[in-house]
Amino acid sequence: MTTYTEYRYLAEGDYVSTAENVKKDTGHNRSVGKLYFPYLIQRTRGDRWVVLNRDYKPLGIVTREHVDYDQYAILLKMTAKIANALTYKATGVELTGVEDESIYFYDDGCNPFGPDSQKHWPTYQEKLKILSKLETVITR
């Protein structure tokens, strides 16, 4: 039996592969991009946000089980300007301060891991730069 490995183009000259254990743990094939890269950030309460992958799990969590987002939430000073720089929505987002408020980085039409990844990766990469510069405080 051949082991499953999937290669996806991410940026010029860069390739990543998924591990066989992802398929074993989840029962389906998922790319590293869909599991370990941000799809959205979701407010849990107050100024606490959790960064989620395409499976709506915190980054690095590979499971079918329910995950308590509060255990993985971090404090972020989210402003409307930052939220609108992160969202894929042309209309932007309006921060309401309610729980479960979400900021999506992409959808199926601009998926940086989809068939047109070369086209959509640069925009997604800019969003990652913005996210990576946000200051956080980890609290328990």
The pLDDT tens digits of the residues spanning 36-50 come to 999 999 999 888 999
pTM equals: 0.74
Q: Is residue 24 part of a domain?
A: no
Q: Is residue 110 part of a domain?
A: yes
Q: Is residue 25 part of a domain?
A: no
Q: What is the per-residue pLDDT for 19? A: 40
Q: Is residue 14 part of a domain?
A: no
Q: Is residue 33 part of a domain?
A: no
Q: Is residue 77 part of a domain?
A: yes
Q: Is residue 18 part of a domain?
A: no
Q: How many Å apart are CA 55 and CA 92, to the nearest integer?
A: 23
Q: Is residue 27 part of a domain?
A: no
With a CB cutoff of 8 Å and minimum separation 6, the contacts of 69 are 42, 44, 50, 52, 58
Q: What is the per-residue pLDDT for 54? A: 93
Q: Which domain holds residue 91?
A: 38-137
Domain count, the chain: 1
